[in-house]
Amino acid sequence: MADVRDAANGTDWRAWQESWDRQQELFMPDREDRFRVMLDMVEALVGPEPRVLDLACGTGSITDRLLTRFPGATSTGVDLDPALLAIARGTFAGDDRVSFVAADLKDPGWTGALPHDQYDAVLTATALHWLREGPLTELYGRIAGVTRAGGVFLNADHMKHRGTPRIDAAESAYRHARMDRDTAAGALGWSEWWDVAAADPALAEATAERFRIYGSHADGETLPLDWHVETLRAAGFGEARAVWASPSDTVVLALK
């Protein structure tokens, strides 16, 4: 997708989309490889024209890559963050393959706002660690409810490891040293990116609302891979396992 501008205010939403991607890559240099594996698994299990639920979609990074690879796919993005949803809606304005829903995933009724009862694939990335164990357990049950038989759920996120404290400490120190070098060279970190968003008239009000909702960061919990696998199976998925991992991130796939 080329330059996408809001005719009313001249906002370059594609530039904001790409800016978000660069900021996220500061924390996750393997982010594109992770997306590739997620879409590989979607194609392998439900084919190249899936109906997708982009869960906690943010700016629509998953949807962007989904439609580039699978032009016949459709996507419903769900998020509560008004600033990131503004970027997503601006980026995909006029694309009838894409719709967005503003909803709180901790609200038991959020699935009622979706345009479809069932999806071939539910995809999410770097989002669900913002929830604690109880709400995430409940959310996994609702995700199972909107995933069709034979459909897939893929969660790419930070997941804790058991019994590897020295490995974890070394990986964390190495990753943070690289991030420090990149930010010293001018890369925008999390807080700096939001400062820029707050200063843009097109996003200022939505950014202020976003911080009223979440504060500086939501009170979440990073849970181990085996917890995710066991909880997804208990929620109604027939199979679940990791399909990709980096030193700091994991993609878990669950098959209905």
Give residue-wise pLDDT tens across range 154-202. 999 999 999 999 999 999 999 999 999 999 999 999 999 999 999 999 9
Give pLDDT tens digits for 100-132. 999 999 999 999 999 999 999 999 999 999 999
The Cα–Cα gap between 87 and 78 comes to 13
Average pLDDT, the chain: 95
- Predicted confidence at residue 133, as pLDDT, reads 97
- Predicted confidence at residue 219, as pLDDT, reads 76
The Cα–Cα gap between 78 and 91 comes to 15
| pLDDT band, very low/low/confident/very high, at 5 (cuts 50, 70, 90) | very low
Give pLDDT tens digits for 55-77. 999 999 999 999 999 999 999 99
Q: Give pTM, 2 decimals.
A: 0.94
- Predicted confidence at residue 9, as pLDDT, reads 63
Q: What is the CATH number of domain 13-255?
A: 3.40.50.150
Give pLDDT tens digits for 16-45. 999 999 999 999 999 999 999 999 999 999
User: Could you give the 3-state DSSP secondary structure of residue 252?
Assistant: strand
The answer to whether the CB of 52 falls within 8 A of the CB of 156 is: no
User: Could you give the 3-state DSSP secondary structure of residue 108?
Assistant: coil
